[in-house]
Amino acid sequence: MKLTEDKVYDTIREVVGEDTIDIIKYLKDKKNISDFKIAEEVDRDIHEIRNILYRLYNHNLVSYYRKKDRQKGWYISYWTFNKQKVHDVLKNLHSTKLEKFQTRLVAEEANLGNFYLCPNACIRVGFERAVDLEYRCPECGSILNHQDNTKTIGFLKEQINRLQTNGLAASITPLQKPVPNGNGHAVKKEDKKIARKAAAKPVKKAVKASVKKKKR
Ligand SMILES: [Zn+2]
C-alpha cells in the first residue's frame, strides 16, 4: 500500500506527536541534516529539537550518525527521515487499536446490557459490582443509573469490522471524516453505513467516557 503524504503525517502525528510534524516536513526530501540546521530551519530550541528527534528515532522514523566538528570540537548529529518505516509504525498502530477494541468488546459483552453509571461519571461498573455497592457511587454517594451498553457493543463491533476489512487504510482515518465521494468513485454501501454509525454521537460519547473512566 502506498501511503499518501497526509497518511504519513497523520500516522506520525498520532504515534509520536503533533510537535514532530514540522521537522518531518522539513526533513522529508533531504538527507543527513544536522540538528543545528533543523533547529534553525524550523525555528525551535536545539534541546527541544533533539528531544523530538530521539522520540522519532525510538520509532525508527529517523536515523542519524554523529561526527566530531573539527573546528568547534563538539559532536554534531546528522539526521535522515526513514519514510519507508512509516508502514511499520502504521501496522503497529493498527494492531494496537484492534487489540484495544477487542479487549473492550470482551469486557462489554461480559456485562451485556448491564452497566451502571454514576450520574456524576465517577464510576461505571458491571451488575455484580453495582449490587455490592448497593447501587450507590462510592465516591459521591449518588444512585447509580442503569446503562444499556448494547449500542457501545455495536459501535465496537463496527470498529473491529472496519479495521479488519479495510486493513491499514482504516487505522487512522478519523471517524468524523466525510466519506470520499467527490472524485467519481462509487461510495461503498458499507462505508456509508460506517459513516452513519460514526455520526451517532451518543454511542461515541459513551465509549469515550468509559475509556476515560478506565484509566483512573
Ligand atoms: Zn459518583
**How do residues 177-199 score in pLDDT, each as one tens digit?**
333 333 333 334 444 444 444 44
Ligand 1 center from residue 181 Cα (angstroms)? 45
Ligand 1 center from residue 177 Cα (angstroms)? 34
Return the DSSP state at 32: S
Kindly report the CATH number that applies to the domain delimited by 5-81: 1.10.10.10
The pTM of this model reads 0.61
CA 151 → CA 55, 102, 111, 199, distances in Å? Answer: 38, 15, 13, 13
pLDDT in tens, 80-133: 999 999 999 999 999 999 999 999 999 888 877 778 999 999 998 988 899 999
Ligand 1 center from residue 107 Cα (angstroms)? 21
Residue extents of the structural domains in the chain = 5-81, 88-113+148-215
Total length of the chain: 216
The answer for residues whose C-beta is within 8 angstroms of residue 69's C-beta and 6 or more apart is 75, 76
Residues with CB under 5 A from ligand 1 (ion): 118, 120, 122, 137, 139-140, 142
Ligand 1 center from residue 136 Cα (angstroms)? 8
